[in-house]
Amino acid sequence: METVAAIPKYNLTDDQEKKLILREYRALLRCLKPKLKTRDKELVRTAFAMSADAHKTMRRKSGEPYILHPLAVARICVEEIGLGVRSTICALLHDTVEDTDITLDDIERTFGQEIARIVDGLTKIANVIDVNASQQAENFKKILLTLTDDPRVILIKLSDRLHNMRTLESMKREKQLKISSETVYVYAPLAHRMGLYNIKTEMEDLAMKYMEPDTYKEIAKKLAETRRERTRYINEFIRPLREKMEKSGFDFEIHGRPKSIHSIWNKMKKKGVSFDEVYDLFAIRVILNSPPEREKEECWKVYSMVTDEYTPSPERLRDWLSNPKSNGYEALHTTVMGPQGKWVEVQIRTKRMNEIAEKGLAAHWKYKEGQADESRFEKWFHQIREVLQSPDNDSVDFLQDFKTSFLAEEIYVYTPKGDVKMLPVGSTALDFAFSIHSAVGAKCIGAKVNHKLVPLSHKLRSGDQIEIITSNKQKPSEDWLNFVVTAKARTKIKDALKEEKRKIAEDGKYYVQRKVEGMGAGYNSHNIDILVDFYKQPSTLDFFYQVATKTIDLKELKDFHVLGDKLEAPKPQRPVMELKPEYTGASEYGKKDAELIIFGESSDKIMYHLANCCKPIPGDDVFGFVTTGKGLTIHRTNCPNASKLLANYGHRVVKTKWAKNKEISFLTGLNIIGLDDVGVVNKITNLISGEMKINISALSIEAKEGIFRGAIKVFVHDKEELDELVKSLKALTGIHTVDRFDAELPLNSSGSSH
């Protein structure tokens, strides 16, 4: 779903366009062929005709006819996810209700209730009343409500998002950032959770291409340069394994595949290593054609052949055969020491497991017939349903909770009786207590993990056995929210706290009522609204609560006037500062200049400050973010908070870029690690202050067992100067790594002239 541009940017005649559309439609029918029953073809044709007609005047940003988008989405559903005819119809119609004159009733009349319900789930919410609630989070909530009824909604939505990511080229820069951030923040983890690894990987790679273009290009270039030697290495690694497996009579295929750019980048960041030091740039995959009853046994046999040939790393064995992931993923992973001292990851699975790994949820249904136990997906849907039924409406919180609760990797833990519970990584004893029952959670005072006493905040690990200790005197407290990660626990704690607040607020309510009636005014909603507004409280409940806890003193009531039975608040003596946000200038100026803010030149016209979380400097890729009451904050696009801000509050993002201004210098920091050599501090300071004439603001160095670690804060004019400095520092002998750090810099650094 996307904005539509009126002006085509590409040149095809009407005839060529018709041929192109027809070609795409035929390609869709071809891949649907095995699934088409007699009447299906007619239904698909009707859906195509309906969509083509409804979208006929519309074009995508690239200028091509809009109908190519629904066609492409339908094709992804069929080819890459393995969905069938009904999903194809929904994919063809997914934008019609939102963007054209077609209504849900029209769709229901033509295709029936089931398809209308899915299309409704795919239609964005037209207008969210609450200005602060994030449109994205609200839409997402709606999708999830339908997901638990019909998971096809999510699968079509993921196809829609994947196609938008593949065609992001023609969008404006800030739109690219917003869509990429949403993708990394919600859709890629969701694809992963649905077991769609290929789609998850492609989404992350495409998002990185727009959010961190330089790093993306650099890694892609290095991967291309090393392709030949990688292929040679893979062949050398596979040869002895192939011979062994052929001798044992296995029916199998074995091949190497490169890791995604995004996962290589993650490894580089996590381990603090360069591209050349990332050991597992590729994985070897063995796919066995085994009968169901011999799957496990044959996978383990192959594992023993691999580890006979190459030495395994003991802590790198992952056994998802005995305990599949909750998204259905089954495989054996091990990392072994291959030729030339390189670590190589080997993945062993069967054809059935491979299909589930690639087609996720859709394949899972195909193999589900005849299984007695409730599937892992159903358990997952059940948990989501539970949380969605809670009346608590803070959408952004909901999105954050959903991410930590339902999209994280899981751990397996045990009850005292030995039943298995699955919880997201990072769960605590308190999360476990709530997962058993909300009443157990609310009364929990501690736990025994593997028979040892631990506090509520104790983080659990896979394999732990937990016994919860409760007390009837226990009540949930505010600080509990700081150490639970599951949505169920958070919701139940918030409900309990609200209930407690409500009880206390009752006292405040009676006190206010007595005061107001004592003044001769009526105790009614108009008067209460006046008071809530005057005392700047977010809600009536908060107002009564603050009165009851004596945080608000009602002494100002003597300045109120009573007209009839209505209260009238006193006029403020002087203008209240809060009413004049710093950024009014920014938005007025922005309108004139197509919301383009150029730093340096126009900094006198616009109030802005640099985000402390990532400390941008000129030359960094940045965006402006309008914060309530604080004006414009400038963040780097690869800031740790960027994807959350862009995904949740895309409407507050302002396009921003730097102008050259050599007058202002910005504070930034570098971490340096190297060998502790005589005179190393001297070398570093000489280079920075002497040769490069850069001002040092602070310098701390500690040496331990032959290694030194230094942190330096310097004033630079822009990113070019910083890059030059990093390059020169790395060239010094004995220096191993130089990294920019973005943590809060204690000095006032909004830019001071030097």
- Separation CA 69–CA 1 (nearest Å): 9
Radius of gyration of the chain (CA): 30
**DSSP three-state, residue 283:** strand
- Separation CA 228–CA 678 (nearest Å): 43
Q: What is the DSSP letter of 146?
A: H
Q: Does residue 149 carry a catalytic annotation?
A: no
| Chain centre to alpha carbon of residue 502 | 34
The DSSP H or E segment spanning 124 is: none
In sequence order, the 6+-apart residues with CB closer than 8 A to the CB of 294 are none
- Separation CA 281–CA 260 (nearest Å): 8
Residue at 722: amino acid letter: L
- Separation CA 523–CA 565 (nearest Å): 9
Residue with tokens 């809670």: 390
Q: What is the DSSP letter of 346?
A: E
Answer yes or no: are the C-beta atoms of 736 and 675 closer than 8 Å: yes
Q: In the beta sheet, which residues pair with residue 257?
A: 283
- Indicate the pairing of strand 343-350 with strand 282-288: parallel
Q: What is the DSSP letter of 275?
A: G
In sequence order, the 6+-apart residues with CB closer than 8 A to the CB of 666 are 610, 615, 616, 617, 618, 715, 716, 717, 718, 749, 751
Half-sphere exposure of 695 (CA within 13 A, CB side): 11
The DSSP H or E segment spanning 471 is: none
Residue 353: both structure tokens together: 């497991």
Residue 473, Cβ neighbours under 10 Å: how many? 7
Residue 276: both structure tokens together: 């050349």
Q: Does residue 99 carry a catalytic annotation?
A: yes
Phi and psi of 454, rounded to 5°? -135, 160
- Separation CA 139–CA 395 (nearest Å): 10
Among the listed residues 337, 334, 287, the one whose alpha carbon sits nearest the alpha carbon of residue 311:
337
Which one of the listed residues 98, 174, 507, 565 is annotated catalytic?
A: 98
- Separation CA 117–CA 225 (nearest Å): 49
- Separation CA 559–CA 566 (nearest Å): 14
- Separation CA 557–CA 41 (nearest Å): 73
Q: Is 108 exposed, middle or buried (0-12, 13-18, 19+ CB in 10 A)?
A: middle
Phi and psi of 91, rounded to 5°? -65, -40
Residue at 566: amino acid letter: K
Phi and psi of 113, rounded to 5°? -65, -40
Q: In the beta sheet, which residues pair with residue 446?
A: 469
Which one of the listed residues 2, 95, 99, 401 is annotated catalytic?
A: 99
Phi and psi of 305, rounded to 5°? -65, -45
Q: What share of the chain is helix, strand, coil (3-state, %, to 5)?
A: 50, 15, 30
- What's the CA dihedral at 56, 62, 68, 73 to 10 degrees? -130
Catalytically active residues, by annotation: 98-99
